[in-house]
Chains A and B, each alone.
Chain A
Amino acid sequence: MVVFDKPHALLDVPLHYCPGCTHGIIHRLVAEAIDELGIEGKTIGVAPVGCSVMAYDYFACDMIEAAHGRAPAVATGVKRADPENHIVFTYQGDGDLASIGMAETVHAAARNENITVIFINNAIYGMTGGQMAPTSLPGQVTQTSPYGRDPKLCGYPIKVCEMLSELEGPEYLERVTVNNVKNVRNAKRAILKAFKNQIEGKGFSLIEVLSSCPTNWGMTPSNALKWIDEKMIPYYPLGVYKDRSAEKEVNK
Chain B
Amino acid sequence: MADKVLMKGNEAIAEAAIHAGCRHYFGYPITPQTEVAAYMAKVMPKIGGTFLQAESEIAAINMVYGVASCGLRVMTSSSSPGISLKGEGLSYLAGSDLPALVVNVQRGGPGLGGIQPSQSDYFQATRGGGHGDYHMIVLAPSSVQEMAELTVKGFELADKYRMTAMILADGTMGQMMEPVSLDFELEPVPEKPWATTGTKMAREHNIVNSLYLKPDELEKGNFDRYERYKIVEANETRYEEYLTNDADIVIAAFGIAARVSRNAVNEARRLGIKVGMIRPITLWPFPKAPFEKAAEHAKAFISVELSMGQMIEDVELATKCRVPVSLCNRAGGMIPSPAQVLDCIKKIANGGNN
A residues neighboring B (CB under 8 Å):
11, 40-44, 46, 53-54, 56-57, 59-67, 70, 73-82, 85-87, 103-104, 106-107
Contact = CB atoms under 8 A, between A and B. Distances in A.
A65 B62 contact: no
A41 B202 contact: yes
B58 to A, nearest CB: 7
Given A64-B207, A65-B208, A65-B209, A77 B197 contact: no
A62 B65 contact: no
A106 B62 CA distance: 15
A103 B55 contact: yes
A44 B24 contact: no
B198 A86 contact: yes
B209 A74 contact: no
A77 B74 contact: yes
B201 A62 contact: no
B353 interface: no
Contact of A65 (B59, B72, B88, B211): B211
Contacts of A73: 54, 58-60, 62-63, 65-66
A78 B66 contact: yes
Contacts of B202: 41
Given A62-B206, A64-B69, A77 B199 contact: no
Nearest to B89: A67
B62 A78 contact: no
Contacts, number: 135
Contact of B209 (A40, A64, A76, A77): A64
A74 B206 contact: no
Contact of B52 (A46, A66, A80): A80
Contacts of A44: 69-70, 196-198
A74 B67 CA distance: 8
B56 A64 contact: no
A108 B313 CA distance: 43
A61 B207 CA distance: 9
A74 B211 contact: no
B254 interface: no
B200 interface: yes
Contacts of B66: 46, 64, 73-81
Contact of B70 (A41, A61, A81): A81
Centre residue among B59, B92, B199 by max chain A CB count within 10 A:
B59
B64 interface: yes
Nearest to A83: B50
Given A64-B207, A78-B66, 8 more contacts: A59-B205, A61-B199, A62-B199, A63-B209, A67-B88, A85-B197, A86-B198, A103-B58
Contacts of B24: 77, 80-81
A56 B209 contact: yes
A63 B63 contact: no
The 7 closest A-B pairs by CB, nearest first: A77-B66, A73-B62, A81-B70, A62-B196, A107-B55, A77-B63, A70-B62
B77 to A, nearest CB: 16
A63 B50 contact: no
A82 B26 CA distance: 15
A67 B198 contact: no
A77 B67 contact: yes
A21 B227 CA distance: 42
A67 B74 contact: no
B210 interface: yes
A35 B252 CA distance: 61
Interface string B31-70: 0000000000000000000101011101110111111111
Contacts of B74: 77
Centre residue among A40, A44, A73, A87 by max chain B CB count within 10 A:
A73
A218 B67 CA distance: 41
A65 B60 CA distance: 16
Contacts of B197: 44, 62, 81-82, 85-86
Contacts of B89: 67, 70
A62 B207 CA distance: 6
Contact of B196 (A54, A57, A63): A63
A64 B65 CA distance: 10
